[in-house]
Every structure is written in C-alpha cells, then in structure tokens.
Structure 1
C-alpha cells in the first residue's frame, strides 16, 4: 500500500527520485520545451510548414500526465471548476483582449508587417481571391483548431505544471509572474523576430508591445484559472483570445 507521503507527492515515483517539485523542476521544463519550440516556430515561419507546432502542443499538454500524480494534477488545476459561471466570462474576456490588441496594432502599424496580426496572418495562407462561403469554411476550421490545441497545450504547461512548480517555491504571485514572462518571451518566435522577404528582421518596438501584451494576457488567463477554480478557466480565456485573433485576421484586416 502507498504511504501518505507518496499519495501527497506531486511527481510520480519514477520522477520523484530524480527531481523535487520546485522552481528547479520548472526551469528544467522551460528549457526542455520552450527552447525547441522557439526554434521550431522560427523554422516554421521561414519554411511555411507548421506541422511540428502541433507536436509541441501535444507534448506540452501531456506534461502533467507524464510527470504528475493524480494529486499533482489536481494541485495544478486539472479539476472541475468551482464556479461554472466564470467560464463564460473567461471566454468573453479573451475575445475582448484580442480585439483590443487588434485595434492597437492597426492604429500604430496599419496593414504593415510591423502589425502582429498581419504577420501572424501570413501563416493562415488565406487566398487573395476567395469567396465568402469558402472563407467562412476556412475560418471555422482554423478558429476551431486554434481554440482547442494551443489553449490546452499552453495552459496545461504554463498555467499548470510550470506555474505550480514555481509557486511551490516562491508563492502564487511570483509563480504567475514567471509563467507569464516565459509565455511572453516564447511568443517572440511568433512575432518580433520576423521572416520577411527571405530575411530575418528584429522589430524592437513592435516586439516589445507584443511581449507586454502576451505577458498581460497570460496574467488574465491565470486570473480566470483562479476565479473558476480550474485550469479550464485559463483554457477558455485563451480560446476566446485565439478566436478573437482569428476573426480579426480573417474579417477585420
């Protein structure tokens, strides 16, 4: 029979012999996943082949199940919400934030590639001459996939296992700052360091605005995890953000 200590351990026994569930484990996770992800996104932006990103999201979503016990998964928020009404607000808040980010980008950079949504929209490969019916179909497919895969992968990873490992050592507030900063810096690969006209460019001011925006929206995701009592709150807020971003790229740009 397992003893009480093993029942209350966040890490599975095979990992518990190697690591402690603390900030060092969080740093290890960030290095092992975020650096390869950063490089793969850059490669995808230059090659226009984004298949590897799906694999990264799958691995990110699997981390809590690979490393954590049932107790550990509950501790990071993989549990039923305590306030279901908050979930609708989470989705709406994500949509609103993404639309505000659209208006900021369009007011500062118009339709140039210094606008984060313009640059990210290139990866959607929307044909220039497309009828509204076909556009709606492509939008629905991309919106649905973007609302499922990256929110689950990134929230289970950043707001889940990474946040909790740092919170274990430094507290919830510090843990949120760390996971939000890691999320924001990782997203420089999506915009900031850009591949334009067959060359790499760094856009300092747009990149700074993008990173700050990603940091703030990460904090918003964590707030809704807290408000809902479940990581599902963060996932739905992230889903709302991705929905708003996809709508902006398809219908507002």
Structure 2
C-alpha cells in the first residue's frame, strides 16, 4: 500500500489511531473552548479560523494518494450526492420537530439556543431577515461542512480506519464529532452563568452522532467526501431555515 503522508511527515508520523487521536485533541479541544467563549462573548471570529485549519489539515499532512484515499476525488455515483442533500435537509427538519415536541421554545431546545448566536432582532423587517438568512445560510453551507467533513470524515476517519477498519472508525470519529458539539449546545451560557442541560444534551449528542454516521454513509455511497459535504451543507441550510422562519 502506498504511503499516504507527505514525504516530510513520513519520517515522523504513522497514519494510524494515534495520529487520529492527536488530530482530534489538537483541533477539537481548542475549538470546544473557542465555541464556549464565543457563546459567552458573541465574538465568533475565531470559529471560522478553526474551520479553515480543519479543512487544511488533510492538505498539510497527506500526499495526492492520501487525499484520494480519504475521498477527495470525483464521485463515482452522482445520484447519491442528490440523496445526501435531501437526507441532510430532512434530518435537520426532523431534529427541529424533535426539539419542538420535547422542549417547545425554551432554552432546552437546541435550535433555540443556537439561534441566539444569529442575533435576529424581534423588529427586523422581512427583507432584512431574508438578507440575514441568506448570509448565514451561505456561510453555514460552506465553512463547517467543508472544514468538518475534510477533518472528521476525511483525515481523522482515514487515520482511525488504518487501525480499526471503516465501520469502527466511523463510530469513533462520530463520537468525537458529537462530543465536540456539546460546546454548541448542552453546556450553555444563559443569564450570565453556565448551565449544563443533562437530558437535552444527551438527545443532542445522540442526534449529532447519528447525523455523523449519515454523512459517512453518503461519503461511502457516493465514493467521494463530497457526499458528506453536501449532506452536511443541506443539514446546516435546513437548521438555519428552521431557526429563522419557524422559531422566529
């Protein structure tokens, strides 16, 4: 099997579970802390930087063969890209209804808390709201889908798969993905203090783990990481739409 790492890294790194764990720790822990700080200060500038770093990680460490191995290639089955988009959209809507049934419009509803970061004014005009939605939707469909998928379903999955195989790697990377998202909802900053919402967090983490598996499956079905990216982009689009037009 051809080496997947760039020549410089071949002398220092083996692409296995240790490297996968190293990537998770050096990216996810700072990201977790930065998201918590952003939720407290409303300064989300550094989150975009984390997504850029996540997206660049495969290109920093992997050679051409490595990039191809993690799925950065032309899709083999294009119809699965369409299915990925529809499924990501449907999952986000399903998660909206789960939150509505379980927690209504309280802060225990994940979309309600996440929606706070969008700063949607109560008196905003329909035109301005549509413009803000478009900005948030375009941003949300580009940065985190590309950054997170190239990182989690890409280089992290590829590293773990060398040691444990694809199925176990998908579970492990999905757990890392889900736990990282506790910073987005679960450990919340409200009324100038931190709170941990146990049962809503459990539902949220399970939901994030399951959607991670969905993204992996569409990567596998399409033969390209673009299946995961499009599914993730559609999920974000649906989530942002629900927050803007169904919650507000």
TM-score (norm 2): 0.99
Which of these residues, 169, 188, 199, is aligned with residue 193 of structure 2?
199
1:215 matches 2:202: no
Q: Deviations over 1:4-47 (max 9, x none)?
A: x7xx2111111111110000000000010000000000000000
Question: Could you tell me how far apart the structure 2 residues matched to 1:124 and 1:9 are?
Answer: 44
Instruction: Specify which of 101, 110, 133 is matched with residue 127 of structure 2.
Output: 133
2:230 counterpart of 1:228? no
* Cα separation, 2, equivalents of 1:155 and 1:82: 18
Secondary structure in 1 aligned to 2:189? Answer: strand
Structure 1 gaps, min length 5: none
Counterpart Cα distance in 2 of 1:188 and 1:10 = 32
1:86 Cα deviation from its structure 2 partner: 1.0
Q: Say what the alpha-carbon RMSD is for the aligned residues.
A: 0.7
Aligned twin of 1:181? 175
CA distance in 2 between partners of 1:16 and 1:132 (Å)? 55
Q: Following superposition of structure 1 onto structure 2, how do residues 88-127 of structure 1 map, counting pairs within 5 Å?
A: 88-127=82-121
TM-score by structure 1 length?
Answer: 0.97
User: Structure 1 residue runs of 4+, over 6 Å off?
Assistant: none
Identify the residue that residue 32 of structure 1 maps to in structure 2: 26
Any idea what SS the aligned residue of 1:80 has?
coil
Partner Cα distance (2:82, 2:124) in 1 = 33
1:17 aligns with 11
More divergent stretch after superposition (127-136 vs 182-191): 127-136
Is 1:168 matched with 2:162? yes
Pairing 1:44–2:38 present: yes
SS of residue matched to 1:195: strand
Name the CA distance, whole Å, in 1 between partners of 2:18 and 2:244: 41
Shift of 1:231: 0.1
CA deviations 1:37-78 (Å, max 9, x no partner) are 000000000000000000000000000100000000000000
1:59 aligns with 2:82: no
- Provide the rounded CA distance (Å) in 2 between the counterparts of 1:28 and 1:21: 11
